């Protein structure tokens, strides 16, 4: 088994945090995304989408999508549970994980991809068509990122963790998104006391150091 990874990138970090929470050690291969390593013929032969992370199983089958990779490991190593236990909790984790990803991480990515010089002609990830950056899309994404921060703080006013009363995959996606937002100079707003309380707790976990 081999995990194609990039140490600085937010999506692979979600998988590494998840593995650390489970205490699972998987060999990693570093991919240089800014240098185009994910678009090399060798990598595209493994994952034609050209995105990272990709997990290659011992028999050569692959899994991409960070959450799909995490689900694979959850099925193999159910404890500690990070995707929910009963029907209601599983639905809550799914609900909040998707909100953190679609409303939060995608918004931050929209700012980053449309402003970072290294991605001037790479407005979409991986082997997607070459797209020029869009200042308008960057600005819309910035507005949506700030809106996501507001919703996160409101959620954490009512809940100890993002999805329920304990740490789950939704917290991993949310924490990685908060850290990713710093890349585009958006921090946790000063008056978001609930997010600050939660962030101090989740970022203090040993798994967050990865
Ligand atoms: N939804 C995918 C997103 C994968 C993705 O976009 N990964 C980024 C790194 S965080 C990437 O591979 N970027 C390649 C590029 O920018 O060309 C996941 O969760 O794994």
**pLDDT of the residue at 195:** 99
Comparing CA positions, the residue from 142, 153, 144 lying closest to residue 190 is 153
pLDDT tens for 46-66 read 999 999 999 999 999 999 999
Residues 6+ away with beta carbon under 8 Å from 100? 152, 162, 170, 173, 174, 177
Structure confidence at residue 177 as a pLDDT band (50, 70, 90): very high
Residues 6+ away with beta carbon under 8 Å from 126? 38, 39, 49, 50, 51
Distance from the CA of 193 to the center of ligand 1, in angstroms? 31
**pLDDT of the residue at 183:** 98
Q: Is 97 in the pocket of ligand 1 (CB under 6 A)?
A: no
Q: Is 9 in the pocket of ligand 1 (CB under 6 A)?
A: yes
Q: Is 126 in the pocket of ligand 1 (CB under 6 A)?
A: yes
Residue whose CA is at the smallest distance from ligand 1 atom 1:
65
Please state, rounded to an integer, the average pLDDT across all residues of the chain. Answer: 97
Distance from the CA of 50 to the center of ligand 1, in angstroms? 8
- The residue-averaged pLDDT of 112-117 equals 96
**Closest ligand 1 atom to Cα of 13:** 10
**Closest ligand 1 atom to Cα of 128:** 17
Residue 93 in contact with residue 83, Cβ under 8 Å? yes
- The residue-averaged pLDDT of 118-135 equals 93
């Amino acid at each position: 088994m081999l995990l194609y990874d990039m140490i600085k990138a937010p999506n692979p970090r979600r998988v590494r945090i998840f593995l650390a929470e489970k205490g699972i050690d998987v060999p990693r291969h570093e991919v240089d995304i800014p240098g185009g390593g994910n678009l090399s013929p060798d990598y595209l032969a493994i994952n034609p989408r050209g995105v990272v992370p990709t997990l290659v199983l011992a028999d050569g089958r692959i899994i991409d999508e960070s959450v799909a990779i995490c689900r694979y490991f959850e099925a193999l190593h159910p404890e500690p549970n990070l995707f929910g236990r009963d029907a209601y909790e599983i639905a809550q984790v799914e609900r909040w994980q998707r909100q953190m990803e679609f409303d939060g991480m995608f918004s931050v990515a929209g700012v980053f991809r449309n402003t970072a010089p290294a991605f001037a002609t790479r407005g979409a990830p991986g082997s997607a068509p070459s797209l020029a950056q869009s200042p308008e899309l960057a600005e819309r994404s910035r507005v949506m990122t700030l809106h996501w921060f507001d919703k996160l703080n409101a959620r954490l006013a009512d809940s100890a963790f993002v999805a329920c009363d304990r740490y789950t995959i939704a917290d991993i996606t949310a924490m990685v998104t908060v850290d990713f937002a710093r890349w585009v100079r958006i921090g946790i707003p000063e008056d978001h006391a609930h997010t600050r309380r939660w962030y101090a707790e989740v970022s203090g976990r040993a798994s967050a150091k990865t």
